[in-house]
Amino acid sequence: MASLLTSTLALTYFFIMYSSFLRRTNGVFSEELSEAITLKRMEKTTRLHFFFHDIHSGKSPTAIKIAGTSDSSLFGDTYMMDNALTESQNGSSKSVGKAQGMYAFAAKNEPALLMVVNYEFTRGEFNGSSISVLGRNPVMDDVREMPIVGGSGRFRYANGYALAHTVWFDLKTGDAIVEYNVYVKHY
Ligand SMILES: *[C@@H]1O[C@H](CO)[C@@H](O)[C@H](O)[C@H]1NC(C)=O
Ligand SMILES: *[C@@H]1O[C@H](CO)[C@@H](O)[C@H](O)[C@H]1NC(C)=O
């Protein structure tokens, strides 16, 4: 009698657990959600083109050294920037945003930078949106490719790549103008 009761209870328990397990595995909550998102949001690719002004000279430099050694080696030198982004190479041309972040000389034997930078845009439909770049920038190369690791606003869920090409460099001051072609995928 007792064993019948025990086995009935065990069987009931098993069915309750089994049905809740079924409900859980059959629950398509996350699948439905991702399907709905896929249907509603179309992935786009946007190309951005702008010029980056890395200014160390003058009364109001936009890039300043914040760390590094005093010896002649560049290795370890770290800069903080709030660099202007403009529509054309002329620094007085229309502003499209700012590059805010850091770069550091991360290679012992060549001028290769670690870039950790947010590009914030202030024009048109991308006003207030930003992309985040984390990458390697060997500055002597003609074209450097850096990954876009994320974004905000219109660039939420962003990924893609940035191609940087130096168009002007002043060896004395370190001032530089860099042309950017950015390909960013987002929703
Ligand atoms: C840059 O633009 C300003 C204002 O539009 C102009 O006065 C200046 O000559 C331009 N500079 C160059 C190098 O084209
Ligand atoms: C960008 O957005 C800011 C804040 O919303 C606004 O003040 C500014 O006028 C906008 N700029 C452009 C060019 O739309």
Question: How confident is the model over 107-159, as pLDDT tens digits?
Answer: 999 999 999 999 999 999 999 999 999 999 999 999 999 999 999 999 999 99
Residue 11 covered by a domain = no
Find out whether the beta carbon of 125 lies less than 6 Å from any atom of ligand 2.
Answer: no
Nearest residue (by CA) to ligand 1, atom 14, is 90
d(CA 170, CA 173): 6
pLDDT bucket at 34, cuts 50 / 70 / 90 = very low
3-state secondary structure of 61: coil
- Of the residues 98, 127, 129, 154, which should be mutated to test ligand 2's pocket, given the most ligand atoms within 8 Å of the CB? 127
Binding site membership of 90 for ligand 1 (Cβ less than 6 Å): yes
| 88 Cβ inside 6 Å of ligand 1 | no
pTM here is 0.80
139-174 exposure pattern, b = at least 16 Cβ within 10 A, e = fewer: beeeebebebebbebbbeebbbebebebeeeeeeee
pLDDT computed for residue 71 by the predictor: 85
Split into its structural domains, the chain has a count of 1
Q: Residue 83 C-alpha to ligand 1 middle, in angstroms?
A: 19
Rounded to the nearest 5°, which phi and psi values hold at 144? Answer: -115, 135
Q: Whose CA is nearest to atom 10 of ligand 1?
A: 90
Domain harbouring 152, CATH code: 2.40.480.10
Compute the distance from residue 146 Cα to the ligand 1 centre, in Å: 30
Tell me: pLDDT of 32 over 50: no
Does residue 182 belong to any structural domain of this protein? yes
Asked whether residue 28 is assigned to any structural domain, the reply reads: no
Residues with Cβ within 8 Å of residue 57, at least 6 apart in sequence: 170, 173, 174, 175
Is residue 35, in this structure, part of any structural domain at all?
Answer: no
User: Are β-strands 63-67 and 78-86 bridged in parallel, bridged antiparallel, or unpaired?
Assistant: antiparallel
Provide the residue range defining the domain that includes 89. Answer: 44-186
* Residue 86 alpha carbon to ligand 1 centre in Å: 13
Residue 122 neighbours by CB under 8 Å, 6+ apart: 95, 96, 97, 98, 128
CA distances from 134 to 16, 49, 74, 103, 179 (A): 50, 18, 20, 10, 17
pLDDT per residue as tens digits for the range 48-97: 999 999 999 999 999 999 999 888 899 999 999 999 999 999 999 999 99
Q: Is residue 20 part of a domain?
A: no
Q: Check if the beta carbon of residue 126 is closer than 8 Å to that of residue 155.
A: yes
CA of 124 to the centre of ligand 2 (A): 8
